[in-house]
Amino acid sequence: MRLSIRIFLVYALFIGLTGYFVLSTVMKEVRPGVRQSTEETLVDTANLLAEVLREDVKNGTLSQSRFPEVLKAYGLRQPAATIWGLPKNQVNNRVYVTDAKGIVLLDSSGEAVGQDYSRWNDVYLTLRGEYGARSTRSDPQDPNSSVMHVGAPIHDNGRIIGVVTVAKPNSSLQPYVDRTERRLLWYGAGLMVLGSMFAALLSGWLSYSLRRLTSYAQAVSEGRRAELPHYRGGELAQLSHAVEHMRTQLEGKAYVERYVHTLTHELKSPLAAIRGATELLHEDMPGEQRRRFIDNIDSESSRMQQLIERLLNLATVEQRQTLEEPVVVHVVALVDDILAAQWGRIERKQLKIEQLITPGLCITGEPFLLRQALANLLENALDFTPNDGTLRFTAEQEGERVRVSLFNSADAIPDYALPRLSERFYSLPRPDSGRKSTGLGLNFVEEVAQLHGGELRIGNVEGGVRVVLTLAT
């Protein structure tokens, strides 16, 4: 199972369990909370009525007072109120009054007048000077038919002469309980969905960050160039720097070992030639032969110097993963510069130069590396182009890339050599001298092309050879 899926599942499971326990706990508290609030209101109402009815109960004139009519009118009222989005069109409170013995004197429902309520807790406890309240089902078989009753004492000079009870059916509170529970469920579900989305984003971000590091490590292990992922602090940034440091250490050691071995191998031949010529110069020989051996020493020394310089240039490019100081480079100016540097050889061979480059065409890169790469291509073309031949530079924009082409009239490259031309130290004999070059020039060009997000292609075309250097703009 992928790491991102594991992170998502763990986070989602945590969110789900947390949401479930929180919601279940809150849901259990909704109904008691609503009833407690209602009970507190009933207490206030009962105590208010106890004060209003005190004189009538004391004088025994309760039935002759206006209060029975008030209660009857109260029961007929239609509030037409909207509470939290729910309509309220009738009153639900029941009010009854008992004397000091618990006998009902007045009942707003008209059902219990004259009955003995002294054993009901709301009356029994209140007459004893305690808080009297009860919750009783109107239908013993129906749990939703319970009614809350709250009693308040009627005092006369410190003596309890009666009880006022205010009752409210719990069924009248159920719509508010249901509405609150529905809202809580919706909010809880929404929070869990948001939490799951956040978990998906978090796991996706972590997975993406780790995939970037993994891709970078794989590219390094395969010898390909890759840009080091950058993170803003934290463990991922530390891991990124650690991977880069490890790459530098490992590549540096292997790189030095490979180049020392390569340089040693390539220097053996010119050193042997120089040593042989030097030994022969210690003997007496004609002046013409002596000059030939001296020229040979000079030629082999130049070859070694060129080999070392090109190896150093190639090593510099190979070790880099990205461009350090890219700037806008004008292609026309770049080509004119390298042509001017080789103008002596061009005139000696009486070559025809064609430059078909769109004015204003630009490349974003490092001018020094681009100049070295094009100079190597031009030098290589000059080695194989016969006298009175043609060199043609072209460049064109293709989307986000620029294709720079160099054509030179020359013999076709053998098929067996085409796939190996950019291979390190591989070289074909030059037509003029029959000698091979260092075999590092085209390899350097390919490295520069890859560093600039492009590629190098070499192929035979009608009348000669064409080299195409594709670079990102």
Q: What percent of the chain has pLDDT over 70?
A: 82
Token pair, residue 446, equals 């390919």
Given a cut of 50, whether residue 31 has pLDDT beyond it is: yes
Q: Note every long-range contact of 28-33, with CB atoms under 8 Å and residues 24 or more positions apart, other chains counting.
A: 30/177, 30/180, 30/181, 30/184, 31/177
Closest CA to 41 of 109, 93, 108, 96: 93
DSSP β-ladder status, 159-169 and 352-357: unpaired
CB atoms within 10 A of CB 465: 22
Identify the weakest region by mean pLDDT among 6-15, 61-70, 366-375.
Answer: 6-15
Tell me the average pLDDT across 207-214. 78
pTM of the model: 0.45
Given a cut of 80, whether residue 123 has pLDDT beyond it is: yes
Q: What pLDDT is attached to residue 246?
A: 64
Given a cut of 50, whether residue 37 has pLDDT beyond it is: yes
Q: pLDDT band for position 315 (50/70/90)?
A: low
Q: Which domains does the chain have, with CATH numbers?
A: 3-178 (3.30.450.20), 225-322 (1.10.287.130), 327-472 (3.30.565.10)
CA distance 401 to 469: 10
Identify the weakest region by mean pLDDT among 126-140, 168-182, 435-449.
Answer: 435-449
Token pair, residue 314, equals 């190639």
CA angle 258, 260, 264 (to 5 degrees): 120
Q: What percent of the chain has pLDDT over 90?
A: 21
Amino acid at 58: K
Tell me the average pLDDT across 50-58. 90
Structure-model confidence comparison of residues 137 and 243, the more confident one: 137
CA distance 213 to 244: 10
Tell me the average pLDDT across 212-225. 71
- The torsion region of residue 463 among left (phi > 0), alpha (psi -120 to 50) and beta comes to left
Q: What pLDDT is attached to residue 324?
A: 66
Q: pLDDT band for position 221 (50/70/90)?
A: low
Given a cut of 50, whether residue 255 has pLDDT beyond it is: no
| Contact status, residue 456 vs residue 446, Cβ threshold 8 Å | yes
Please give the mean pLDDT across all residues of the chain.
80
pLDDT tens digits, residue range 346-405?
A: 888 899 999 888 888 888 888 877 888 888 898 888 888 999 999 999 998 888 889 999
CB-based contacts of 435: which residues, under 8 Å, 6+ apart? 429
pLDDT tens digits, residue range 455-470?
A: 899 999 999 999 999 8
CA distance 77 to 271: 119
CB atoms within 10 A of CB 377: 23
**What's the start-to-end Cα distance of the chain, in Å?**
40
Closest CA to 207 of 2, 9, 15, 13: 2
3-state DSSP assignment of residue 369: helix
CB atoms within 10 A of CB 454: 22
DSSP string, 314-336: HHHHHT-SS-SS-EEEEHHHHHH
